[in-house]
């Protein structure tokens, strides 16, 4: 008969702690997995929060832009000055009824200078108002990127070697409007020249497009349809808002 020591099993477990070590290892791996999952969730939550902040900032800027444009149109309407807005609430059109240049000229007619003066003053006031009641220390224009003063002509060819045709003529007309606003020390519009955007650069810019950007309703004007052509002869005020840069988006993506 073979005798078996009743303590041999316990002794074997104590001498060979394999199962105990395996359990400890699995428990440690589980803890590591849980910590990694928690860190990933925190990282995703941080990214989501930063994306939401950027979206909210753009939405706020676009809301302010719409307020600026709506107020300008309404205030000028009360002054009997016609200014139209684009369907997407980003551009103000100054039509020929409010500013008509003589053919081939970039000089603002004396009879219409008061219109341009009022438009500039109202533009300045709308841009310089507080963002909202919670941001009284910040003016609306700090949410913007650029305000473009754009000149446009019809497609009737203007021959002038100095101005280089309609391109030069449209640019000179836009420059005339800007200089009229910025160089009159007795008008509120003079303050437009000092406005800086969100990165400290000049807020206003001037450009000319010739006949390359006709209005939607005047893209196919007949040769002698001057009413149609007149819709393309205009000065536009295009307002662009501050948006996240590629660098800012890459920083969010990389975190």
Residue 14 lies in a domain: no
Q: How many domains does the chain have?
A: 1
Q: What is the pLDDT of residue 133?
A: 67
Q: Which domain holds residue 115?
A: 50-246
Residue 85 lies in a domain: yes
Encode pLDDT of 74-98 as tens digits.
999 999 999 999 989 999 999 999 9
Residue 89 lies in a domain: yes
Residue 1 lies in a domain: no
Q: What is the pLDDT of residue 116?
A: 95
Residue 16 lies in a domain: no
Cβ-Cβ contacts under 8 Å for 228 (sequence gap 6 or more): 218, 221, 222
Count Cβ atoms below 10 Å from residue 122 Cβ, excluding itself: 22
43-76 exposure pattern, b = at least 16 Cβ within 10 A, e = fewer: eeeeeeebeeeeeeeeebbbebbebbbebbbebb
The whole model's pTM is what? 0.75
Q: Are 234 and 96 in contact (CB under 8 A)?
A: yes
What's the token pair of residue 171?
């640019």
96: domain CATH number is: 3.30.1330.60
Residue 255 lies in a domain: no
Q: Which residue has the tokens 């007309």?
A: 173
Q: How far apart are CA 66 and CA 198, in angstroms?
A: 18
Encode pLDDT of 121-151 as tens digits.
999 999 999 987 665 668 999 999 999 999 9
Residue 9 lies in a domain: no
Check whether 44 has a pLDDT greater than 70.
no
Residue 15 lies in a domain: no
């Amino acid at each position: 008969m073979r005798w078996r020591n009743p303590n041999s099993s316990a002794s074997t477990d104590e001498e060979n702690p394999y199962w105990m070590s395996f359990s400890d290892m699995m428990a440690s791996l589980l803890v590591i997995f849980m910590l990694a999952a928690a860190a990933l969730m925190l990282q995703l939550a941080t990214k989501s929060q930063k994306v939401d902040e950027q979206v909210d900032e753009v939405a706020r800027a676009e809301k302010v832009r719409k307020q600026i444009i709506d107020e300008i149109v309404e205030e000028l309407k009360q002054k009997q000055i016609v200014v139209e807005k684009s369907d997407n609430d980003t551009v103000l059109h100054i039509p020929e009824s409010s500013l008509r240049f003589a053919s081939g000229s970039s000089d603002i007619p004396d009879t219409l200078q008061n219109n341009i003066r009022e438009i500039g003053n109202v533009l300045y006031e709308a841009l310089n108002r507080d963002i909202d009641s919670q941001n009284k220390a910040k003016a609306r224009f700090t949410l913007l990127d650029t305000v473009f003063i754009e000149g446009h002509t019809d497609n009737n060819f203007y021959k002038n070697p100095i101005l280089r045709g309609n391109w030069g003529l449209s640019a000179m007309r836009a420059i005339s409007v800007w200089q009229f606003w910025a160089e009159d020390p007795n008008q509120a519009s003079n303050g437009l020249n000092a406005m800086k955007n969100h990165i400290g650069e000049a807020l206003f810019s001037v450009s000319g497009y010739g006949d390359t950007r006709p209005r939607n309703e005047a893209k196919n004007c007949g040769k002698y349809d001057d009413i149609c052509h007149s819709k393309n002869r205009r000065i536009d005020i295009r307002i662009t808002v501050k948006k996240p840069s590629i660098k800012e988006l890459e920083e969010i993506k990389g975190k």
